[in-house]
């Protein structure tokens, strides 16, 4: 059942990407509203997918790579829909729905069977850990998109071009504000993710911290974002520097999530994909 | 029945003449009623802006009407016709329709694509409506003109990009800061250029304007005029610390704003972005300042270049707009031609005859036993009914003394009986 909802969601994310791309070309507001509607339908279906999988499996479905990618895509769309309530940055939709769609396609290619839950994952803390961690990741994804757009817009302004590209991107201030806002929400979530993770580690393996690659890299990511926040508040790392840091931070997030899982064997490595 | 436009604009007349011939809004009612009293005119409207004065009129006798209008202009403005006759242009029929569509969609404006003209036409039209000098043709014409203007605005990008130095500056500021609201502006110099820029920014909604000048008194004077805050020239650094947008237009022979001090200022500002607009010649801002992070520097040439590029885009869009105008002119001319009496009578008769025939044949097919003679009398009966019904309206239509109302009748007939534009058919025959 969940696979049907999953496919349906992926299909609607795809249509949303198409709508947002045609918005970028035409700049017609109605087209971006269609994109938003399609993404919302996809999100609803995706939510049903997660719920049915939870019921079918009997545990929070974030235990293998298929489930994690799918959950990551879900949090990205969730964050996008929430951000959209406050910040009317329509182009953002094109970036975030596209990233979610790519994650969905990878997830689709991976084994989707529901397997018995490994004993270590059977914990009260596990769902909290993954929810905080992925919500943080999704917010950092949004910051990454803002960073990329900022660098493009800044380059347009510095090189004195006011052409088609510049016209389609938000103002520097809007992008920098959203980047900062993302940092102030994402950083606490990442911190909570790490704390709940270490509490869970204490239950699962009998120690809070074991320098397993995943733990090490999440700490590196945490330090990156901590530095970013600190520099911003003290010496005013905003604008260009903040945009670059958002991109660097996101690379670190991605590596912690995927790179470590695929390249560096450790306790977090998913056994079944 | 012809549409006539008699007028002058920025291309044909110098400002002195345009000023002399302009109609004040307060006198418009008087002017309109004077035009209405001219014997050969049926409908009229006056458009008077700072770039153009145009009288739109509908008349059966265009030549007479033109003479009357020329004399009216001369009499009303107390200016001999000789002095402005050369500046006048005269458009009749299809050319006139095209002209008003072009004017409404801002293709004939001094700055092509500027949006004010549409509002000016709308108010000219509403004044004509209030004074009851516009009739069925002008109503239709103006509504089509508004429709064309809307199409041009939505289907082309004619008004999209900034084409003047000041609007380019505002657009750039918006690209950096989102909006001008809550922004602080620092003016360096208190000359005319700065004053102009300041007024533009105040209109754009900036929060505060700081003014600094080598002679402090002049800074104070300008600050008072624009409700800004004067700053002593030696304390410019304080202003730079507070401002988001800096406009510099002094006649200083050397750079006033240099790289190294600005690096320091940026540190004090905690890297808050700053936008320098250098409209001085020679430059006030050292070019290297633009390389500093979070500093954006545009000088007058940069702004002009962007404006020129946008202007080229606009001209490209204007060609698309001309195609839309042409399409709409053709449609309007067809409608207008259909207001002729004879084609309307033909169309009306044809429609009635078609209905009669169709119903008659339907009846015959239900009653195959009818004899030839019976059929003939039935045919004669139905024809007689149709002719009797049409008799009164058609005689009325052809009466000479009803001419004044004929447009209204014809348009009503065409609308009520849904008659097709005959001209479409006629064109087919011509082809």
- Lowest average pLDDT, out of A5-9, A55-59, B261-265, goes to A55-59
Least confident of A75-79, A158-162, B328-332: A158-162
Tokens 């002399």 sit on residue: B20
Cα–Cα dist B349/B387, whole Å = 9
CB contact under 8 A, B174 and A160: no
Helix, strand, coil % in chain B, rounded to nearest 5? 60, 15, 25
C-beta atoms of A160 and B298 within 8 A = yes
Q: Domain-by-domain residue ranges, chain A?
A: 1-117, 128-273
Proportion of chain B above pLDDT 70, given as a percent:
96
The complex's ipTM?
0.85
Q: What is the CATH number of domain B165-306?
A: 3.40.50.720
pLDDT tier at B185, thresholds 50, 70, 90: very high
Place of tokens 């800074």: B219
For an interface test with B, which of A162, A177, A180 has the most B Cβ atoms less than 10 Å from its Cβ? A162
Cis bond upstream, residue B282 (ω within 30): yes
d(CA A138, CA A71): 10
Alpha helix segments (H runs only) across B131-191: 136-155, 165-177
pLDDT digits (tens, 9 = 90+) for B60-75: 888 899 999 999 999 9
Q: In the CATH hierarchy, which top-level class contains the domain B2-160? A: alpha beta
B411-429 pLDDT, tens digit per residue, is 888 888 888 765 444 544 4
Percent above pLDDT 90 for chain A: 55
Q: In terms of Cα–Cα distance, which of B289, B169, B271 is closest to A176? A: B271
For residue B122, how many other CB atoms are within 10 A of its CB? 15
How do residues A110-130 score in pLDDT, each as one tens digit? 888 887 777 777 778 888 898
Q: What is the pLDDT of residues B333-357, one digit of tens each?
A: 888 877 777 777 888 888 999 999 9
Question: A28 vs chain B: nearest CA distance in angstroms?
Answer: 10
Using an 8 Å CB-CB cutoff, list chain B residues near A240. Answer: 293-294
CA distance A231 to B248: 32
Rounded to an integer, what distance in angstroms lies between the CA atom of residue B43 and that of residue B136?
Answer: 8
Q: Please, what is the Cα angle at B338 between B335 and B343, to 5 degrees? A: 165
pLDDT: is A179 or A270 the higher one? Answer: A179
Nearest CA in chain A to B298: A160
How far apart are the two ends of chain A, measured CA to CA in Å? 20
Backbone angles phi, psi at B43, to 5 degrees: -135, 155
Would the CB atoms of B178 and A171 count as touching at under 8 Å? yes
Mean pLDDT of A98-109: 93
Return the pLDDT at B157: 82
The H-or-E segment that residue B343 falls in is helix B341-366
Element (H, E) at A215: helix A213-234
Asked if the Cβ–Cβ distance from B178 to A153 is below 8 Å, we say no
Kindly report, residue by residue over A172-187, the tens digit of the pLDDT.
999 999 999 999 999 9
Does the pLDDT value for residue A72 go beyond 90? yes
A273 pLDDT more than 60: no
Task: Collect all residues of chain A within an 8 Å Cβ-Cβ radius of residue B162.
Answer: 162
Q: Does B172 touch chain A (CB under 8 A)?
A: yes
pLDDT, residue B430, reads 37
Which long-range CB contacts under 8 A does B177-181 form with residues at least 24 apart?
B177/A171, B177/A172, B177/A173, B177/B244, B177/B245, B177/B273, B177/B275, B178/A170, B178/A171, B178/A173, B178/A174, B179/A171, B179/B205, B180/B204, B180/B205, B180/B206, B181/B205, B181/B206, B181/B207
- Contact (CB, 8 A) for B117 and B153: no
Give catalytic residues of B, as residue numbers: 50
The DSSP string of B61-94 is -HHHHHHHHHHHHHHHHT--HHHHGGG-EEEETH
- Residue B234 per-residue DSSP state: G
The tokens describing B403, both together, are 């001419």
Q: Bridge partners of B52?
A: B9
B140-157 pLDDT per residue, tens:
899 999 999 999 988 888
**Which candidate from A167, A235, A240 shows the least CB-CB separation from B270?**
A235
Note whether B314 and B158 are within 8 A (CB). Answer: yes
Specify the pLDDT at position B103: 94
Give A15's pLDDT tier (boundaries 50, 70, 90).
very high
Domain with CATH 3.40.50.720 in chain B: 165-306
Q: Give B206's DSSP letter.
A: B
pLDDT for B429 equals 46
CA dist A13 and A39 (Å) reads 5
Q: Kindly state the tokens that stand for B126.
A: 């509403």
Instruction: Give B405: exposed, middle or buried? Use CB within 10 Å, 0-12, 13-18, 19+.
Output: middle
Higher per-residue confidence, B202 vs B307? B307
What is the pLDDT averaged over residues B397-404? 64
Closest C-alpha among B63, B133, B136, B149 to residue B100:
B149
Average predicted confidence (pLDDT) for chain B: 87
CA distance B267 to B40: 76
pLDDT at residue A271 in the model: 44
Contact B296 A157 (CB under 8 A): yes
- CB-based contact A232:A224 (threshold 8 Å): no
Give the DSSP per-residue string, B276-297. EEE--SS-SB-GGGGGSTTEEE
Q: pLDDT confidence of B402, banded at 50, 70, 90? A: low
Average pLDDT of the residues in A233-245: 88
Q: Is the pLDDT of residue A251 over 50?
A: yes
Confidence of residue B401 (pLDDT cuts 50, 70, 90): low
Share of chain B above pLDDT 90, in %: 36
For residue A167, which residues of chain B lie inside 8 Å, CB to CB?
160-161
Whether the CA torsion B136, B140, B145, B147 is positive or negative: it is positive
Comparing C-alpha atoms, which of A262, A258, A195 is closest to residue A222?
Answer: A195
pLDDT at position B39 over 90: no
Report the chain A residue with the minimal C-alpha distance to residue B183: A173
Show which of residues 255-314 on chain B sit within 8 Å of chain A, judged by CB atoms: 267, 269-273, 290, 293-294, 296, 298, 302, 305-306, 309-310
Average confidence (pLDDT) over B219-228: 88
Mean pLDDT, rounded, of chain A: 88
Average pLDDT over residues B222-247: 90
Q: How far apart are CA B263 and CA B46, in angstroms?
A: 58
Bridge partners of B181?
B206
Residues B173 and B264: beta-carbon distance below 8 Å: no
């Amino acid at each position: 059942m969940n696979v049907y909802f999953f496919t349906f969601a992926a299909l609607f994310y795809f249509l949303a990407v198409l709508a947002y791309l045609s918005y970028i070309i035409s700049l017609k507001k109605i087209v971006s509203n269609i994109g938003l509607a399609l993404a919302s339908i996809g999100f609803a279906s995706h939510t049903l997918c997660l719920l049915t999988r939870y019921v079918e499996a009997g545990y929070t479905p974030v235990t293998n790579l298929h489930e994690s990618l799918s959950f990551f895509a879900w949090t990205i769309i969730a964050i996008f829909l929430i951000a959209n309530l406050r910040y009317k940055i329509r182009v953002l939709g094109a970036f975030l729905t596209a990233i979610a769609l790519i994650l969905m396609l990878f997830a689709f290619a991976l084994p989707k069977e529901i397997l018995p839950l490994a004993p270590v994952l059977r914990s009260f803390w596990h769902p909290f850990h993954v929810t905080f961690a992925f919500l943080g990741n999704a917010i950092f994804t949004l910051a990454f998109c803002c960073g990329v757009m900022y660098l493009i817009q800044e380059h347009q302004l510095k090189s004195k071009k006011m052409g088609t590209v510049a016209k389609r991107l938000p103002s520097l201030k809007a992008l920098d504000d959203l980047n900062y806002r993302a940092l102030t929400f994402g950083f606490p979530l990442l911190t909570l993710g790490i704390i709940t993770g270490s509490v869970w580690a204490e239950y699962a393996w009998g120690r809070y911290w074991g320098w397993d690659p995943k733990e090490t890299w999440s700490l590196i990511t945490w330090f990156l974002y901590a530095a970013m926040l600190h520099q911003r508040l003290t010496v005013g790392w905003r604008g260009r520097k903040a945009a670059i840091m958002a991109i660097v931070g996101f690379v670190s997030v991605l590596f912690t999530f995927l790179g470590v899982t695929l390249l560096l064997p450790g306790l977090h490595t998913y056994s079944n994909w | 029945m012809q549409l006539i436009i008699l007028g002058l604009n920025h291309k044909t007349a110098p400002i002195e003449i345009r000023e002399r011939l302009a109609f004040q809004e307060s006198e418009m009612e008087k002017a309109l009623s004077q035009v209405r009293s001219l014997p050969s005119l049926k409908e009229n409207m006056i458009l008077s802006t700072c770039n153009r004065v145009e009288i739109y009129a509908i008349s059966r006798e265009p030549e007479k009407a033109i003479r009357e209008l020329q004399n009216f202009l001369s009499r009303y403005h107390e200016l001999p016709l000789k002095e402005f006759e050369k500046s006048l242009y005269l458009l009749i029929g299809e050319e006139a329709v095209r002209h008003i569509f072009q004017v409404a969609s801002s293709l004939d404006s001094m700055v092509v694509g500027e949006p004010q003209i549409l509002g000016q036409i709308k108010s000219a039209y509403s004044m004509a409506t209030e004074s009851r000098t516009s009739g069925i043709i002008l109503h239709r014409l103006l509504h089509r003109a508004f429709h064309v203007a809307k199409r041009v605005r939505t289907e082309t990008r004619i008004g999209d990009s900034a084409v003047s130095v000041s609007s380019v500056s505002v657009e750039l500021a918006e690209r950096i800061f989102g909006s001008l609201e809550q922004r602080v502006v620092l003016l360096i110099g208190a000359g005319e250029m700065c004053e102009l820029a300041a007024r533009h920014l105040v209109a754009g909604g900036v929060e505060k304007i700081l003014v600094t000048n080598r002679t402090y008194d002049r800074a104070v004077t300008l600050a008072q005029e624009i409700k800004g805050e004067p700053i002593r020239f030696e304390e410019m650094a304080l202003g730079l610390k507070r401002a988001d947008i800096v406009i510099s237009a002094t006649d200083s022979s050397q750079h006033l704003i240099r790289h190294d001090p600005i690096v320091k200022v940026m540190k004090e500002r905690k890297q808050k972005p700053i936008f320098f607009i250098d409209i001085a010649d020679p430059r006030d801002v050292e070019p290297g300042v633009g390389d500093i992070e979070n500093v954006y520097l545009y000088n007058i040439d940069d702004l002009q270049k962007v404006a020129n590029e946008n202007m080229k885009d606009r001209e490209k869009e204007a060609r698309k707009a001309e195609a839309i105008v042409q399409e709409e002119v053709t449609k309007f001319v067809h409608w207008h031609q259909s207001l002729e009496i004879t084609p309307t009578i033909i169309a009306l008769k044809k429609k009635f005859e078609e209905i009669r025939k169709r119903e008659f044949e339907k009846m015959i097919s239900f009653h195959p036993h009818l004899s030839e003679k019976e059929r003939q009398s039935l045919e004669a009966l139905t024809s007689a009914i149709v002719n009797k019904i049409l008799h009164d309206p058609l005689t009325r239509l052809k009466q000479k003394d009803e001419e004044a109302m004929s447009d209204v009748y014809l348009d009503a007939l065409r609308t009520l009986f849904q008659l097709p534009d005959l001209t479409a058919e006629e064109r087919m025959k011509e082809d």
